[in-house]
Amino acid sequence: MSSFDAGAEKFADLSVHGLVDSHCHLDDAAFDDDRDAVLRRADMAGVRKMVLPAYTPRYWRRLRETCHRWPGLFPAYGVHPLYLEDRHGQWEATLATFLADAVALGEIGLDASAGAPDAACQRAGFTTQLAMAQQLGLPVILHARQSLEEMLLTLRRFPRLRGVLHSFSGSFVQAQRLTDMGFLLGLGGAFTHPRAQRLRAMAATLPAEFLLVETDAPWQPPHAHPGARNEPAYLREIIAELAQLRHTPVQEIARITAQNALTLFHLQDMS
């Protein structure tokens, strides 16, 4: 038995739904040469469902084709703040048509990093997409970089919205404000790094009912794979690290985070 197969035994008694990677980009060109093999490894690791958020209109069609071709892949469509100036036509009208078969609207948000698009452009695009999600009753997948306080204020204008803040790295207070509004927090490779002490402390203590696990593949690999292309099979390592930090059985963390994702994205009855 390989070490990979032996490790899988810890996950053998999960529910029929298996593990859920709540945020990965399997449609990305980084997987074009071996997507089938990546999906086989994910299946061996117990990852049965994956949510694939879009980030630019240029790749919405590619994302839809990827999700239609392979079972267990579920699309979310939106315009990431770093791509809001890439209008690719009138994306608002096109987005509405793609959302007909989406499990969420995203990845959307605010980004104040160097070189990001104009802040006013970002705010307009963000609020437009939040309004669409609220009207359609879809959860949102959020991105915030150096802008979480402004995002929190904006979300208060949309009280019926629910969703997840992907790759959460804020404070305990900000986490509480998000969960008070009904939002979940996505944890991935970043918290597995030993030097990420503040994030690890939050991962150990945040209420489990508000946590999702994600890989963000092909980016943000866990600590054991520095510089590697990330992939959904590594979700098992993220769950194991979270379980260790929380002094909780791996199977319990896997079950809770999978159920959280199934509920948020309404995946229970989907194949």
Q: Which two tokens stand for residue 41?
A: 């490894």
Contacts of 81 (CB under 8 A, 6+ apart): 108, 109, 110, 111, 116, 117, 122, 125, 126, 143
| 85 marked ligand binding residue | no
| 166 marked ligand binding residue | yes
Q: Which two tokens stand for residue 38?
A: 């990546």
Q: Which two tokens stand for residue 67?
A: 């999700």
| 209 marked ligand binding residue | no
CA pair distance 134, 154, nearest whole angstrom: 13
CA pair distance 73, 82, nearest whole angstrom: 24
Residue 203, Cβ density class (10 Å: 0-12 exposed, 13-18 middle, ≥19 buried): buried
Question: What H or E segment, with its residue span, contains residue 49?
Answer: strand 47-53
Residue carrying the six token digits 């995002």: 151
CA pair distance 49, 45, nearest whole angstrom: 12
| 25 marked ligand binding residue | yes
Report the binding-site residues for a divalent metal cation. 23, 25, 107, 143, 166, 216
Q: Binding site residues, as ranges? A: 23, 25, 107, 143, 166, 216
